[in-house]
Amino acid sequence: MKPVIGRAILTLIFFAMAASVAFAQEEATPIAKVEAPVIDIGTVANGEEIPQSFTISNEGTMDLVLTQVRPTCGCTVAEFDEVIAPGETGQVRAVLDTTNFNGAISKTIIVKTNELANPEIKLALKATVQPYWSATRG
């Protein structure tokens, strides 16, 4: 009888260890936090190219992977850090071309990540575009 009890105990220990490893792996996750998801550039002259950076931190326990960064307008070009280690920060750098705008604008950048709880982050650049030259009647 003793070998059977010993084998049963070893089997229980094995399954308990396997379950704890699986549980620990399930808990490892990236968590993206954006310092300022909306940047208000203020008033700019028509035709300016405005560079801006968004800071994204990883507050999780595994690498945060930015799988895609897509501006919703051809007037914005973005580049980004693809992998952000736990406890580290990364950047999404964007350049907004104001050539074809006048007045208040808001341009969105969509960031896709490997975070399960929140796989999509929306960033925005806001500005008020004014003509480089303006004339008034006096």
Dump pLDDT digits (tens) for 16-44: 666 665 555 557 999 999 999 999 999 99
Q: What is the pLDDT of residue 137?
A: 74
User: Which residues have CB under 8 Å from 86's CB, separation 6+?
Assistant: 30, 58, 59, 60, 61, 62, 63, 64
Q: What is the pLDDT of residue 13?
A: 75
Q: What is the pLDDT of residue 46?
A: 95
Q: Could you tell me how many residues make up the chain?
A: 138
Dump pLDDT digits (tens) for 73-110: 999 999 999 999 999 999 999 999 999 999 999 999 99
Q: What is the pLDDT of residue 21?
A: 57
Q: What is the pLDDT of residue 27?
A: 78
Dump pLDDT digits (tens) for 52-81: 999 999 999 999 999 999 999 999 999 999
Whole-structure pTM value = 0.77
Q: What is the pLDDT of residue 20?
A: 60
Dump pLDDT digits (tens) for 102-134: 999 999 999 999 999 999 999 999 999 998 776
DSSP string, 76-134: EEEEE-SEE-TT-EEEEEEEEE-TT--EEEEEEEEEEES-SS--EEEEEEEEEEE-SS-
